[in-house]
Amino acid sequence: MSECLWLLCVTQTDVFLICFSVTSPSSFENVTSKWYPEIKHHCPDAPMILVGTKIDLRDDRETLTALAEQGLSPIKREQGQKLANKVRAVKYMECSALTQRGLKQVGSHAGSQAGQTFHGMRYSVYLG
């Protein structure tokens, strides 16, 4: 996306959903190194919700093995909450698109933060 188009989208956003995969430490790190600074620079007053995704894989044997082979482990809920506090997110939430666990709650909370119904709001999702 061009810089100009990106800025147009960002400045018209009511609420930001900053997402990272709980099975990807690099996407977790991107929250503080990339997404949070960009959002705070262009929309300092917009609310942010930090969302840990793919929670169904947190206990998946294959995923755990692959991470362990790299000396890594899944991001814990407590780590997500700590990061949410650090970046001053209004809430930390977790979900799984595969199992649908927590998905409706994320949408509902985003809608309440935007002050509109979920279907009528403008929101941006950033995946680390």
Q: Which CATH number is 32's domain given? A: 3.40.50.300
Q: How far apart are CA 67 and CA 29, in angstroms?
A: 16
Q: Which tokens is 23 given?
A: 């099975």
Q: Could you list the residue range(s) of the whole structural domain that residue 9 is in?
A: 3-127
Q: Does an H or E element contain 52, and which?
A: strand 48-53
**Longest C-alpha distance within the chain, in Å?**
45
Q: How many structural domains does the chain have?
A: 1
**In a structure prediction context, what are the per-residue pLDDT tens digits for the chain, which is 128 residues long?**
456 555 555 666 778 899 999 999 999 999 999 999 988 888 888 889 999 999 999 999 999 999 999 999 999 999 999 999 999 999 999 999 999 999 999 988 888 887 754 445 444 555 45
- pTM of this prediction? 0.83
